[in-house]
Structure 1
C-alpha cells in the first residue's frame, strides 16, 4: 500500500507565516481568530506539545518550493518525516556512493522551524537501487550494515528516531520476502537494529508497517516479533502504525492494540496518517473523515506511551493517494489550496483546542474562484518558465514557476502548456487547470492574480502517467510565448 507511491509527495513543511488571507485566499495555516498563523496555543503543534505529544507531517525536497505548503507545515507541525530523501535509492544509488544532500535539506528546514525529524527509512524492500537487489547472498549483510552505519552516523544527533526496518510483514503475518530476508532470514531485522544503535545511540529505533493499527494477524505478528526482540536484548524503542485509512474504517481495536505494544515498554507512534475517500468528496465523507481523525488522535492521547501523530503530507494537493488509488483522494486535513477542512477542526478539538468552522472553500471539491478574464499583457510583455518534476511508479508532481520578465505588471493570468502523452492531471494547486490532458490551461485564483514586473508566481499539479514523466512544454502567458530557464 504505502510502498506503492510514497514518492508522490508521499508526499512529506520557508516558512514564516504565509499571510495570503488578506487577499481573501489561503488561510495562513488556519488561525482561529485574528493574528498570524501559529499564534500561541492555536496550532496543532502547540496543542500537541501541551499534552506532551507531537503532531508531524511528511515533506519531500520538492515540497519545499511550494510556499503555500511550507507556510502550513512550518507553523502547524513540529515533526518532519522525509518523504523519499532518506530512502536507499536516494542516499546510496550506487555501492558506497552516498548522497545526503536531499535529506540534509529536509533536516535544515526542520531545524529552522524548531521541528524534529523522524528518519525514514534505513532498510526497506521497496525503493531499492538495482545493485542491492542483485547482490550475491553472501554480500547482502555487509552492504546493509554499511548502509545503516553510514547513514545513521551522518544524521547522528539530528534525528529523533529511525524507521530502521520498514514494512517487514505480509498481510497474513509472515515476513515479507526481500533481498535481506532471502540472505539473512528473520535475523536481518535484529542485525539492522543493533547496527543502527551502534551508529547513533540516542535515536529512537522503530519498526514501521501498515495495516497493523488494529488487532489482526499482521499486528499479532508484529507484537510477537517485538516481544521476541525485547527478550533477546535487541535494541528497539517503538512501533510505527502507518494509519493509511479509508473513511469509516478506523479499527475499533486500535486503542487496545496501542496499549498492548506500550505494555511491552515500547513507544507507539502514528506515523503516516491519512484517510482517503472517493472523489469528488461528499459532505458525508468529509464529516466521517473528521470523526476518524478525532478517533485516531484520541486513541493515541488515551495511552501513555503513544508519543505522537504524523500525517503523510500536508494537504490534499501533495498527497500520494490520488496517484496510488484511482478515484480516491481528499485524504488529509487541508484541501488542494491548503485551507483547513472539517478534519482539521476535529483534530484541534481532539487535542483540547477550540476550533472554528472551516471556510466554504475547504471542501476538496471546490476551490477559490478564478478571476473572470485574464488581461492581455502590455506591449513588450515577456515571460520565463521553470519546471520541477518528481515522479514515481505511475504518478508525478510538477511545480511550475512563471516569471514576468516584461516591464509592466500582469493582472490576471492564463498559462497554456502541453502535457506529454499519457499524462493526466489528477489535482492542482494555486491555479485552476483544465482540461486534464493534452493542451492545458492554468488560470489564476483570486489571491494570486497579479504578477508584478520582475515578479513570479507558482502553481503545480499531480498527474498520472503511463511511462512518460517528462515536463510540460510550450508555455505561454496570456498568449505570449515563454522562454524556459
Structure 2
C-alpha cells in the first residue's frame, strides 16, 4: 500500500445532502430493504454481533444534529468513536480546565442506542493545546498523567476501550519526537497505559496507528513495542489498525499481520476504516471498493482476536477525506444521498447476511479474490519493452511480494499478463491488484478491469502473499505479454 498522510483533525463537513431527508428517501438506506429500525438480524450491528464481533462508526457533535446520520448510526452500528470530542484540545484546552460536554453528548447518544464507546484519544501529538508543548520538560509527565487520570476517571464505566496513545510512530518505525517523547523518552507510552489502567481498570487499552495494517517497517515497530510492553507487564489489551485505505491498495498481508499481533496476546480492532478513490467515482472503483471492504471484514472475522470493525464516519458527505485529499472521496459504504453502495452489500454478505441487489463480491483469502480480470490481453507492438522491480517482506513461513511493472516501450499496453517463476516451496495464498494463478511454479498475473492500461513510460503495481518452506527469494524470469522484462 502506498504511504499516506493522516489528517490532524477530521472535522464534520457541510452536509448539503441533508436537505433531501425531508423527501423521506434517505432513511431507507439504514438497513437492507427496510427503514432505520429494520428487520431483526438485517443490520450491520446485528449481523456482526451474531458472529461475536461488532461494527462501529465515528460521530462528531455536529453529526448529532442530523436526523439522517443519527438514524443510520443508531440502527446500523453498535460502537461509536467520537471524532474530536475526547481529544486533548477539546477536553483540556488550558491547563487544569476540563470540558467534557461535547464528549458527554456522544456518550449519551451511544447509551440511548445501546452502543458501546471507543474513547479516542488520551495522548496524541496532534490536536494538542499549545500550552502542553510549551511546558518545561520536567513538567510534561505530570501534565500527561493528570490529563489521562482526569479524563479516564470522568468516563469510567462508560467507555468500552481507550486509544490511550494515538499514532506514536513515524513511517520508518521510529517514535515521533513529540512533546511526550522529548520529555520522557520511550517510557511515556508505558506510563500512559499504566495511568489509564489505574483510572479505569475495566476499560480495554489500545495503541492506535495508521499504515500498520500490512507487514512493513512501521507495523514491525508497533509489533516490537507491543511485545516489549507485554514482557514488562504493562497493561495493554489491543492494537488499532486505522485502515485509511486507497481503493485497490488494501495490503494482502492484512490477515497475516492481524494474526501475528493476536499471537502476542492482544486484540486487534479495525478502528477507522475508509477506502478513498478519485471522484467522481467510477463503476470499476466502486466495485473494487466493495471487494476491499469485504476483504477487510473477512480478514478480521478469520482471526479470533480481531474484535470488530469501525468505519470512520457514516456516509460520504460526513467523511473527512475530501477535506484532506484533493480529488478523492466516496470513501464510505453510503453515498452522497446516504444510500448504501456496493460496499455496504458486500459487508452484509461477508457478515453472513443477504445484500439488496448491488454487487457483493466475496473477499475470501484466495489468489483470485478481487475484481474480474479483463477478458483479453493484447500483445504489445514491435519495440515493446518492460522492466520489473520486486520487493519481498518475509517472516517465519510466509512472505509478501510487491511487484511494479513499467512499460518501457513506445506504445501503451492495453491488457496485460505478467508471467514469472516462483522459487521452489512458495505457494501463493492471496493477491491484490491482479489475478494470480496457478499458486506455484510458473505463474501468471493478469490485470483487473481498472488497471488494464499501462501507458508508455507508465507503471502499475500488484502483489501477493505466499507461504514458503525456507526459500523467501523474489520471483524471477518476468515476461510481459511474452516480452522479456529487465530488472529495474
TM (norm. structure 2) is 0.70
Residues 186/25 of structure 1: CA separation in 2 closer, same or farther (3 Å cut): same
Q: Is residue 2:259 matched to residue 1:259?
A: yes
Q: Which residue of 2 aligns with 1:319?
A: 319
Give 1:336 shift: 1.4
**Gap regions ≥5 residues in structure 1:** 12-17, 360-485
Give 1:281 shift: 0.3
**SS state at 1:280 partner:** coil
Residues 194/246 of structure 1: CA separation in 2 closer, same or farther (3 Å cut): same
Alignment of 1:216-231 (within 5 A): 216-231=216-231
Distance 2:37 2:214 in 1: 35
Q: Which residue of 2 aligns with 1:82?
A: 82
**SS state at 1:140 partner:** helix
Residues 238/23 of structure 1: CA separation in 2 closer, same or farther (3 Å cut): same
Q: Is residue 2:10 matched to residue 1:7?
A: yes
1:222-280 per-residue CA deviation (whole Å, 9 max, x = no partner) reads 00000000000000000000000000001010000000000111000000000000000
**SS state at 1:270 partner:** strand
Q: Which residue of 2 aligns with 1:142?
A: 142
Give 1:8 shift: 2.0
Check the 8 A contact 2:204/2:238 in 1, yes or no. Answer: yes
After superposition, the CA RMSD in angstroms is 1.8
Check the 8 A contact 2:36/2:71 in 1, yes or no. Answer: no
Check the 8 A contact 2:59/2:82 in 1, yes or no. Answer: yes
Give 1:3 shift: 4.2
1:145-202 per-residue CA deviation (whole Å, 9 max, x = no partner) reads 0000000000000000000000000000000110000000000000000000000000
Check the 8 A contact 2:213/2:254 in 1, yes or no. Answer: yes
Q: Which residue of 2 aligns with 1:107?
A: 107
Residues 21/322 of structure 1: CA separation in 2 closer, same or farther (3 Å cut): closer
Give 1:129 shift: 0.5
Distance 1:121 1:111 in 2: 19
**SS state at 2:339 partner:** coil
How many residues in Structure 1 have an aligned counterpart in Structure 2?
Answer: 352
Distance 1:103 1:358 in 2: 36
**Gap regions ≥5 residues in structure 2:** 360-488
Give 1:357 shift: 2.4
Distance 2:13 2:161 in 1: 19
Residues 94/285 of structure 1: CA separation in 2 closer, same or farther (3 Å cut): same
**SS state at 1:287 partner:** helix
Give 1:28 shift: 2.8
Check the 8 A contact 2:314/2:334 in 1, yes or no. Answer: yes
Q: Which residue of 1 aligns with 2:129?
A: 129
Check the 8 A contact 2:27/2:71 in 1, yes or no. Answer: no
Q: Which residue of 2 aligns with 1:60?
A: 60
Distance 1:73 1:142 in 2: 38
TM (norm. structure 1) is 0.71
Give 1:24 shift: 6.0
Higher relative contact order (CA 8 A, sep 6+): 1
Residues 24/103 of structure 1: CA separation in 2 closer, same or farther (3 Å cut): closer
Q: Which residue of 2 aligns with 1:69?
A: 69
Distance 2:77 2:342 in 1: 18
Check the 8 A contact 1:5/1:324 in 2, yes or no. Answer: no
Check the 8 A contact 1:82/1:120 in 2, yes or no. Answer: yes
**SS state at 1:169 partner:** coil
Check the 8 A contact 1:164/1:193 in 2, yes or no. Answer: yes
Distance 2:5 2:205 in 1: 20
Distance 1:329 1:173 in 2: 28
Distance 1:114 1:50 in 2: 16
